[in-house]
Amino acid sequence: MDKNTKTALITGATSGIGRATAVLFGKNNINLVLCGRRQERLDALEKELEDSTKVHTLNFDVRDKDAVFKAIESLPKEFSNIDILINNAGNAHGLEPIQEGSLEDWDAMIDINVKGLLYVSKAIIPNMVAKKVGHIINIGSTAGKEVYPNGNVYCASKYAVDAINQGMRMDLNPYNIRVGAINPGMVETEFSSVRFKGDGDRAAKVYQGFKALQAADVADIIYFVVSRPYHINIADLMVMSTAQASSTIVNKNQ
């Protein structure tokens, strides 16, 4: 593997922002470690990208601490030197007021959005510290900047990502490691389908009446961030569609 070629590890690579980022990185000759829970999707993505870059897939759930470390420790030598970490895996479950919230949903959001991000970071960071170079991008959300009605625990999990991002940047500053967050607003992906437990009609209504961000839009921004000269670190970036002014203000009559 060319020593000048970067290697990126992307969690949640089988759909949405993660998948779009993998495709764009591949087109720009970044080697890829693609992580996800759905092996068939990982296989399909690897096949799609095999002509443009080198790809290795890891099938695990970020909630499973042992699986995270086992998977990353299993990386072959040519993929083990991670230059770029994209902490993208995340989810929202339910949209109920706090008194009606599901404990199972709360666990899923905290375990994936917060603990999963920490597990993967813990597995990757020591090598970056040792070589005193690396770039970590944490995918947050506008929900980590502004709480909205019925968002409660989801917003809390993304506020945690915001805090972790800031703390990570401070702690890794002595080691020349770039750390930053991308915080998108509404992105038209499988996100709402997951949040509404597969209720397609309800999910579709979220994006009706306006042009929402697309996964490829966010991927473009992520690539822009990682491709800046190394003395530049984009520490915290928030992006929404033109139609969205806040979590609760969206012009749906365009």
Count of all residues that appear for the chain in the document:
254
User: Is 223 part of the annotated catalytic residue set?
Assistant: no
Sign (positive or negative) of CA dihedral 164, 134, 228, 217: negative
Alpha-carbon torsion 71, 76, 79, 82, what sign? positive
Active-site residue, from 119, 148, 154, 223? 154
| Residue 117 tokens, joined | 């991000």
Three-state DSSP at 37 gives: coil
Residue type at position 149: P
* Dihedral of alpha carbons 60, 63, 8, 126, sign: negative
Distance CA(2)–CA(220), nearest Å, equals 24
| DSSP 8-state class, residue 85 | E
Task: Show the tokens assigned to 52.
Answer: 């443009």
Instruction: Provide the annotated active-site residues.
Output: 154
